[in-house]
Amino acid sequence: MDILVDPPKSQGLPFQPWAKALREYRYNVTSDSEEPGSFCLPLPEPQPYMRAGVHPIEFIQLPEQKRILQLMEFPGHVWRDIFMDGRPHPPKAVLEDSPTFMGHSVGHWEGDTLVVDTVGFNEGTWIDKDGDPHTSQMHVIEKFTRTSLNNLHLEATIDDPGAYTRPWTVAQDLAWGPDWAIKEYMCQSNNRYQEGYVRRTGGATGTGNAGAEWGHGHPAKGIFLGEWGPNAAKQDRLLVLLDWDGGAVVGTINPGPRAVPITKAELNPDAWTLHIEGGAAAARVVLDGKFENLTWLGRSLVGTYTQGNERGTFKITRQY
Per the DSSP assignment, residues forming a β-bridge with 222 are 242
Domain 4-175 has CATH 2.40.128: yes
**Residue whose C-alpha is closest to residue 158's, from 271, 260, 6, 299:** 6
Whether the per-residue pLDDT at 211 is higher than 50: the answer is: no
Provide the pLDDT for residue 230.
73
Greater model confidence, 269 or 93: 93
Provide the pLDDT for residue 31.
56
Whole-prediction pTM value?
Answer: 0.69
Provide the pLDDT for residue 24.
81
Cα–Cα distance, 166 to 14 (Å, whole number): 6
Domain 202-318 has CATH 2.60.120: no
Cα separations in angstroms, 246 against 80, 180, 198: 44, 54, 20
Res. 188 pLDDT band, cuts 50 70 90: low
Provide the pLDDT for residue 303.
79
Provide the pLDDT for residue 131.
83
pLDDT for 46-60, tens place per residue?
A: 666 655 456 788 899
Mean pLDDT of the chain: 75
Same fold? 4-175, 202-318: yes
User: Which whole number is the average pLDDT over 177-194?
Assistant: 71
Domain limits, the chain = 4-175, 202-318
Provide the pLDDT for residue 234.
62
